[in-house]
Amino acid sequence: MGRKWHTLLMRVLHTSDWHLGRFFHGHDLHEIHSAFLDHLIEVVKDQKIDLVVLSGDVFDRAVAPTQSVALADEAFRRLTELTRVVLTAGNHDSDIRLGFNAEQLNERLTIAARIENCGRGYDFPDASGRVGLRVYPLPYLDPDAARVTLPPHLRLLGEQVWAEGEEHPQTWQMLARSHEAAVGAALRLVQADLTAHKPKTPVLVMAHAFVVGGQASQSERDIRVGGVDSVPSELFTQVPGLAYAALGHLHRPQEIALGDLDSARPPARLVYSGSPVPLSFGEAEFEKSSVIAEFDGAGLVSLERVAVPSFQPIATISGTFEQLMGPDFDNYSEHWLRVRLAGARPPQALAQLKQRFKGLCVFEQTDLPQQIDSPRLNRDNTLSPLQLSQGFMDEMGIELNPYQLQILRSSYEKVVKEAH
């Protein structure tokens, strides 16, 4: 079957895992997130995007800081002046707070935060006003909530929902307590809706989950339940007409392999946009991006990753103390750094490294010698605990003022008095 090409393509920008309100080793990311959102809005404007899909983790925690809520509000206002936006709740978001008043929003902004709405599809137009894409936004499906919430909807489809481990299941029971069961049930609701409506457009599913085959970073929150956190990619093959799965949760940009769903059309693509800014030192190793997907009437036409500028240099540097203090690292004065010291650690090494690198966030020592070369910290029975504490502060480059020294001394004397 040949592809039915249209001169006008549906252009979708896929992003996720903003994590507004996040800190990076003590550094507030608010200004960096603000710069990213300015960049994103320029991309939407320049690339004439018809739809933005945001696949979860808008915020970094359920009760987001006021400035983060204001930043998101302003971003959605600016985006909806240019295009339509559909977003889902992630595992970091509060579905209740994010979804508040969602039913009263206008057609330019759709928020999918409630589990009971899984299986509800939305049609979105291209630039000509013709319906170009049907979208099924699935919020993060917490197994403890989904195993109770979804079965009544499955029962309406005539499904027998069996309790895990039951030899003789009854019709109305809970799902197994796993992400696979929750996402699988939600996708069966999507399948039922597609069977009922039979759309003539490509289908896009949004999901916030750890799909098997994906590579995690150091900054995702563990979503394991009973030791199970992953979702097999094969679950998505039950969605007829699926062209693209806009995935969220993993912070590394990547694509999950999935075989042909139907030999008569191109295979579906399962794609993580990744987080737009680095949230751990390991993420500084790969380029951050958003994804632009183009669709015609028959399915996905093209994918393009749009690089997100680096608004703050982040790096890991390694070497001996002499190397780290030498000219080879003169260009790292503005970086946020993870410093790895190899070999011997001279007295007050950390204090000197902090003085040299103002953005030092993490200090690690490799090839640790059996005894640190510091007379203040070597075990010496002639030093009191108070002297050892002061020596430790000196080693860390922490200068105590007279008031803090008095608190330390008073605390020590109180412990000694109580011990006797």
Provide the β-strand partners of residue 276.
none
Please, what is the average pLDDT of the chain? Answer: 85
Q: From edge to edge, which strands make up the β-sheet containing 131-137?
A: 122-125, 131-137, 203-208, 242-248, 269-272, 254-256
Distance (Å, whole) CA 361 – CA 40: 28
Beta pairing, strands 299-307 & 289-296: antiparallel
**Residue 59: pLDDT over 90:** yes
Q: What is the DSSP letter of 329?
A: G
- Pick from 2-11, 128-137, 158-167, 315-324: least confident: 158-167
What's the rounded mean pLDDT across residues 118-140? 94
Tokens matching residue 207: 């999901």
pLDDT digits (tens, 9 = 90+) for 407-417: 777 777 777 77
pLDDT at 391 over 90: no
Lowest mean pLDDT of 26-30, 185-189, 400-404, name the range.
400-404
CA distance 418 to 293: 69
* β-bridge pairing 254-256 and 269-272: antiparallel
Q: What is residue 103's predicted lDDT score, i.e. its pLDDT?
A: 56
Nearest to 313 by CA among 15, 20, 18, 27: 27
Q: C-alpha 293: how far from its chain's center?
A: 20
Cα gap 60→317, rounded to integer Å? 28
pLDDT at 352: 94
Question: What whole-number distance in Å separates Cα of residue 6 and Cα of residue 415?
Answer: 80
Q: What is the mean pLDDT of residues 365-386?
A: 58
Helices (H), 224-310: none
pLDDT of res. 6: 47
Q: Are 275 and 16 in contact (CB under 8 A)?
A: yes
Write out pLDDT tens, residues 24-37: 999 999 999 999 99
**Maximal C-alpha separation, the chain:** 90
In this prediction, residue 35 carries a pLDDT of: 98
Torsion of CA 306, 66, 21, 225, to 10 degrees: -110
Kindly report each contact of residues 314-321 with a partner whose C-beta sits within 8 Å and lies 24 or more positions away, as own/partner: 314/24, 314/278, 314/281, 314/284, 315/284, 316/281, 316/284, 316/340, 318/342, 318/366, 320/344, 321/345, 321/346, 321/349, 321/353
pLDDT per residue as tens digits for the range 332-350: 999 999 999 999 999 889 9
How large is the average pLDDT for residues 100-125? 84
Interacting residues of 220 by C-beta distance below 8 A, sequence separation 6+: 210, 249, 250, 251
State how far Cα 128 lies from the chain centre: 33
For 159-219, give the secondary structure using H, E and C. Answer: CCECCCCCCCCCCECCCCCCHHHHHHHHHHHHHHHHHHHCCCCCEEEEEECEECCCCCCCC
Cα 399 from Cα 391, distance rounded (Å): 11
pLDDT (tens digit, 9 = 90+) per residue, 154-163?
877 766 555 5
Q: What is the pLDDT of residue 260?
A: 53
Specify the residue for token string 């059996």: 370
pLDDT at 251: 94
Q: What is the per-residue pLDDT across 70-100, written as a single tens digit (0 to 9) for each?
A: 999 999 999 999 999 999 999 988 877 886 6
Helix ranges restricted to H, 10-80: 30-46, 66-80
**Residues 288/309, Cβ–Cβ less than 8 Å:** no
| Least confident segment among 233-237, 256-260, 269-273 | 256-260
Nearest to 290 by CA among 11, 101, 100, 4: 11
The predicted structure's pLDDT at residue 185: 93
